[in-house]
């Protein structure tokens, strides 16, 4: 089919083209990027936005970080693709070394590279099943693990991620997870997990559990330390592998390379993606060397997995994540974000909860602090109002009533002052006259 060329490059024209050509199933906001740097995006109409979403946690090191751009350009000029199973290259090994260095614990650990977070989850499940010769996987309420068949089956939010797209992958069991703001305590959740192992599946049939240390899509719900440790202990008791899904919370977002290391637990396997690539698509699985070596040669992999250009970007991004000075800065950045959100909460009744870990933070908005009725429509209004005022926001949470802050961690004080002022003003207006 001939493609019409020469459409006018402005938001209205592109939006019309988008509606004509791009599947309606892909959710989009009406913003078209022209160029971006740091925490700011300029659109095709020349409007500047402050970006509080950061590619949903993929841009911790900002838009177009110079060192990543240079590494990408240099690598693209040498070769762009090989397919690692056909011709190997040093970049793959160097990227795996750094990803393995992010895996907390004594080791020895190994890793392999993939393309997306969901693919990392798929592969972690395959490794766990193969290595244990068991089938069942236990996941948790509020969990999000991607959009592939296994990823969506493990995910706990039917709309928009699952509805109408079954049947789901089999041998998946779901246990409660703590959600302190909504009254689900660590004790409740641990009791629920134990009950799954009694009432639904025998522990000897469970290959692994998968858990995000801070639940991202579920509303930035940080798992209490006692829950993570309790689940880990139960897993160890029954030979069940612990998979930490670090796709959103890992790679320095909470200050440390992995989020689970805040809780002193070394997972058997971990999944990584998003900010690992400094803006380029790449993901991976790390874990105990005996597990990573269990699958027969050729059992895992894929055409573009560990693409050389993505590896070049990931090496630069992970060198930063592993740098103690960066970790210090990340911690200070997280403290600053939390202070700003706490200040907003102190001025607005609608903010029921401020939560998260490090710089992975969100506010949960409610119609009433006593009833905690979720304010999902208001969140939609805040996102729209903020966009009109030059701030990109995105909701999250099981009830769609949380606003996440995943602003690139290179944001300046000016970016933050301006961005939080717009957030607060939009919040006030969305709830005005209730
Ligand atoms: C915790 C977690 N796991 C897995 C995924 C899936 O990653 P991707 O969108 O790269 O497939 C996501 C994406 O948001 C995520 O937050």
Residue 127 within a domain: yes
Ligand 1 atom with the smallest distance to the CA of 217 is: 16
6 pLDDT band, cuts 50/70/90, is low
Verify that 58 and 110 share a domain, yes or no: no
Using the mean position of ligand 1's atoms as its centre, give its distance from the Cα of residue 151 in Å. 8
Q: Look at residue 9 in the predicted model and tell me its pLDDT.
A: 87
Verify that 48 and 105 share a domain, yes or no: no
Ligand 1 atom with the smallest distance to the CA of 246 is: 1
Q: Look at residue 2 in the predicted model and tell me its pLDDT.
A: 56
Of the residues 321, 351, 383, the one at which a domain ends: 321
Verify that 161 and 199 share a domain, yes or no: yes
Using the mean position of ligand 1's atoms as its centre, give its distance from the Cα of residue 159 in Å. 16
Of the residues 303, 321, 339, the one at which a domain ends: 321
Mean pLDDT score, 354-379: 97
Percent of the chain having pLDDT more than 70? Answer: 98
Give the ranges where 51-169 is alpha helix by DSSP (H): 54-57, 66-78, 90-102, 117-132, 149-154, 158-161
Give the residue, out of 60, 117, 397, with the most ligand 1 atoms within 8 A of its beta carbon, to mutate for a pocket test: 117
Mean pLDDT score, 95-114: 98
Verify that 27 and 84 share a domain, yes or no: no
51 pLDDT band, cuts 50/70/90, is very high
Q: Look at residue 14 in the predicted model and tell me its pLDDT.
A: 95
Q: Look at residue 3 in the predicted model and tell me its pLDDT.
A: 56
| Cα→Cα distances 260→139, 169, 235, 302, 374, Å | 16, 27, 15, 28, 29
Please tell me the pTM assigned to this model: 0.97
Give the C-alpha separation, 155 to 122, whole Å.
Answer: 12
Residue 74 within a domain: no
Give the C-alpha separation, 149 to 161, whole Å.
Answer: 10
Give the C-alpha separation, 316 to 121, whole Å.
Answer: 24
Using the mean position of ligand 1's atoms as its centre, give its distance from the Cα of residue 407 in Å. 17
- Packing angle, helices 308-321 and 66-78, rounded to 10: 150
Using the mean position of ligand 1's atoms as its centre, give its distance from the Cα of residue 349 in Å. 32
- Identify the CATH number of the domain in which residue 354 sits: 3.90.1150.10
Average pLDDT value for the chain: 96
Verify that 308 and 336 share a domain, yes or no: no
393 pLDDT band, cuts 50/70/90, is very high
Of the residues 299, 321, 343, the one at which a domain ends: 321
Residue 4 within a domain: no
Domain of 238 in residue numbering reads as 79-321
Taking only the tens place, the pLDDT of each residue in 287-338 is 999 999 999 999 999 999 999 999 999 999 999 999 999 999 999 999 999 9
Residue in this structure with the two tokens 């969140």, named with its chain if needed: 379
Verify that 89 and 196 share a domain, yes or no: yes
Taking only the tens place, the pLDDT of each residue in 191-231 is 999 999 999 999 999 999 999 999 999 999 999 999 999 99
Indicate the pairing of strand 241-245 with strand 206-211.
parallel
Using the mean position of ligand 1's atoms as its centre, give its distance from the Cα of residue 306 in Å. 17
Taking only the tens place, the pLDDT of each residue in 413-425 is 999 999 999 999 9
Asked if residue 4 has pLDDT above 70, the reply is: no
Residue 417 within a domain: yes
- Identify the CATH number of the domain in which residue 234 sits: 3.40.640.10
Verify that 295 and 348 share a domain, yes or no: no
Residues with CB under 6 A from ligand 1: 56, 116-118, 121, 144-146, 212, 216-217, 245, 247-248, 273
Taking only the tens place, the pLDDT of each residue in 231-284 is 999 999 999 999 999 999 999 999 999 999 999 999 999 999 999 999 999 999
Verify that 339 and 297 share a domain, yes or no: no
How many separate domains does the chain show? Answer: 2
Q: Look at residue 5 in the predicted model and tell me its pLDDT.
A: 57
Give the residue, out of 155, 156, 248, 302, with the most ligand 1 atoms within 8 A of its beta carbon, to mutate for a pocket test: 248
Verify that 367 and 248 share a domain, yes or no: no
Using the mean position of ligand 1's atoms as its centre, give its distance from the Cα of residue 144 in Å. 7
**Residue environment code for 355-388, b if the CB has 16+ CB neighbours within 10 A, otherwise e:** bbbbbbbbbbbbbeeeebebbbebbebbbebbbe
Verify that 263 and 399 share a domain, yes or no: no
Asked if residue 1 has pLDDT above 70, the reply is: no
Give the C-alpha separation, 358 to 78, whole Å.
Answer: 38
């Amino acid at each position: 089919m001939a493609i019409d060329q020469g459409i006018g490059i402005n938001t209205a024209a592109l939006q019309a083209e988008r509606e004509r050509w791009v599947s309606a199933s892909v959710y989009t906001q009406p913003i078209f990027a022209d160029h971006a740097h740091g925490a700011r995006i300029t659109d095709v109409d020349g409007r500047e936005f402050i970006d509080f979403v950061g590619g949903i946690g993929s841009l911790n090191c900002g838009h177009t970080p110079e060192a990543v751009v240079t590494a990408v350009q240099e690598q693209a000029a040498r070769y762009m693709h090989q397919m690692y199973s056909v011709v190997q290259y040093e970049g793959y090994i160097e990227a795996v070394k750094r990803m393995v260095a992010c895996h907390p614990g004594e080791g020895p650990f190994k890793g392999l590279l993939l393309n997306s977070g969901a693919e990392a989850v798929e592969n972690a499940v395959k490794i766990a099943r193969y290595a244990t010769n068991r089938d069942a996987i236990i996941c948790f309420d509020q969990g999000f693990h991607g959009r592939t068949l296994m990823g969506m089956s493990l995910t706990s939010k039917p709309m928009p991620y699952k509805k109408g797209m079954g049947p789901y992958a089999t041998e998946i069991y779901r246990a409660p997870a703590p959600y302190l703001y909504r009254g689900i305590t660590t004790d409740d959740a641990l009791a629920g997990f134990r009950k799954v192992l009694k009432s639904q599946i025998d522990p000897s049939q469970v290959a692994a559990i998968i858990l995000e240390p801070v639940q991202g899509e579920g509303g930035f719900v940080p798992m209490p330390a006692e829950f993570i440790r309790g689940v880990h202990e139960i897993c160890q008791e029954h030979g069940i592998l612990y998979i930490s899904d670090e796709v959103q919370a890992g790679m320095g977002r909470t200050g440390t390379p992995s989020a689970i290391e805040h809780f002193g637990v070394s997972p058997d396997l971990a999944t990584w993606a998003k900010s690992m690539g400094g803006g380029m698509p790449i993901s991976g699985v790390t874990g105990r060397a005996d597990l990573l070596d269990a699958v027969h040669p050729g059992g895992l992999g894929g055409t573009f997995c560990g693409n050389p250009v993505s590896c070049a970007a990931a090496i630069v991004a992970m060198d930063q994540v592993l740098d103690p000075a960066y970790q210090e800065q990340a911690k200070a950045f997280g403290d600053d974000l939390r202070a700003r959100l706490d200040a907003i909460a102190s001025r607005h009744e609608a903010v029921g909860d401020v939560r998260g870990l490090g710089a992975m933070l969100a506010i949960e908005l409610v119609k009433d602090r006593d009833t905690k009725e979720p304010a999902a429509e208001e969140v939609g209004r805040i996102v729209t109002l903020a966009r009109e005022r030059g701030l990109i926001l995105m909701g999250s949470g099981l009830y769609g009533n949380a606003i996440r802050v995943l602003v690139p961690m290179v944001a300046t004080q000016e970016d933050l002052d301006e961005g939080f002022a717009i957030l607060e003003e939009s919040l006030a207006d969305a709830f005005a006259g209730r």
